[in-house]
Amino acid sequence: MLNKTATTDVARVLAELVDTALADDWDEDGPTMALLWESSENPDDLRVAVKRLEGAIEDELAPMGELGDYLAVAHSTVTRWPPPELRARSDGAPIRITVAVDSESELGVVRHRNGATEWFGAIGLPVVELIRSGLRLEPGNSV
């Protein structure tokens, strides 16, 4: 039986982990992606890979999509020009936008330079659609 609370928690935990890890990284040159997966049938055997993207997200996702199923994927970038859906959260200063996607949900967090964070729900960001179309996201064995 699918436990939606546990599934949703996967995306939130990964988003929080990536946002916190990158809280002091304000490099606008390239986004970072994190992948979370179970490496065996044991639900406690979780793995995380973090990669600074060097090319277009579609090109970076292509080889990863052939490797298997993921529990969640997070994408984090620093920008002064957020998408229209998040523009009200920006004052023109750089902000870090981190979104996480799992099999059931997507959510994100905006981090400001002063450390303040604002969580947001599914708003149809293009990066979410790219992740969903490029990778298989499955609930974990523990859910």
- Tell me the per-residue pLDDT of 40-97, one tens digit each, with 9 for 90 and over: 777 778 889 899 998 888 888 888 777 678 889 999 999 998 888 888 777 888 999 9
Q: Where exactly are the structural domains of the chain?
A: 4-137
Q: Which of 130, 106, 137, 136 is nearest to 58 (CA)?
A: 130
Is the Cβ–Cβ distance between 28 and 94 less than 8 Å? yes
Q: How confident is the model at residue 111 (pLDDT cuts 50, 70, 90)?
A: very high
Specify the pTM: 0.85
Helix ranges restricted to H, the chain? 4-21, 57-65, 126-134
Q: What percent of the chain has pLDDT over 90?
A: 38
| Phi, psi torsion values for 18, nearest 5 degrees | -65, -45
